[in-house]
Amino acid sequence: MRRATLAGTDGSGVRNQKFNIRFKPRESSVSLADRHITALMRQLATQDVVELIHPFAEWQTFGALAYIAECYGFRYADVRLVGKHRIAHIYLVRDDSPQAQQRAAANRSAFPDPGPGRPVPGMYLGSLTPVPEAQPDVDLITTLIRYDAAGAAANRKQLLTMAWAFPLLFLLLAVVTGKYAVILPVAVLTPVFVLVSLRINATRRARLAERLTAAGCTPVRDESGRERFARPVPHTA
């Protein structure tokens, strides 16, 4: 018996066609550091106030980015912890002082096109790792950011109010519900936890203050009364 075949197919019934498959060329990978630098330079070129928000970044990363910004005529201004998860927002402002503008002009001349695959001031190529000459300045900026962040994290007046208000609330709840065995331990432990947290934060901040003082920074109070540090004249590189 002769087997019937389909037109344009082989005996198995599979159509004989040639498929021209084109693969999209693989794009060159861009490192996370390069993406951070690109985003920073875009803000520096268009804004007078720059806000850095990288939820999973380390403090050293913020210090390195702030260093780069200062090389192009900006300066570190402040840090805020925003939202329920207390995400750090780092603020940089344009520095109109003659020294800062002179430094910015020199760096724009030496590093005219910073970005992926191209050098930026004070960092190894393609990274936010400082070269030895820039490391002390990056460390100083990082310590300033950490000190301000620690102050923002521990609003002493607010936390002390919580330490005594919550136990009273729990006590009232225990009286209403009659569940003393469950609620009273929580009422006792709440102020202990808050006071221990304050103590740990104060110790950490004191150590950072020692480093800043040793680096020549001066303790000051800002317009809102917060304890901060003023730096000596920034780097000139």
Reported as a single tens digit per residue, the pLDDT across 48-68 is: 999 999 888 899 999 999 999
Question: 15 pLDDT exceeds 60?
Answer: no
pLDDT at residue 4 in the model: 44
Query: What are phi and psi for residue 197, nearest 5 degrees?
Result: -60, -40
Tens of pLDDT, residues 22-51: 444 444 577 899 999 999 999 999 999 999
pLDDT at residue 155 in the model: 60
Q: Reduced to 3 states, what is the DSSP secondary structure of residue 109?
A: helix
Mean pLDDT score, 113-127: 91
- Tell me the β-bridge partners of 50: 92
Contact 92, 66 (CB under 8 A): yes
Question: 237 pLDDT exceeds 70?
Answer: no
Q: To 10 degrees, what angle do helices 59-71 and 98-110 make?
A: 100
Rounded distance between C-alpha atoms, residue 122 and residue 105, angstroms: 15
pLDDT at residue 98 in the model: 93
Compute the mean pLDDT over every residue in the chain, rounded to the nearest whole number. Answer: 82
Rounded distance between C-alpha atoms, residue 176 and residue 178, angstroms: 6
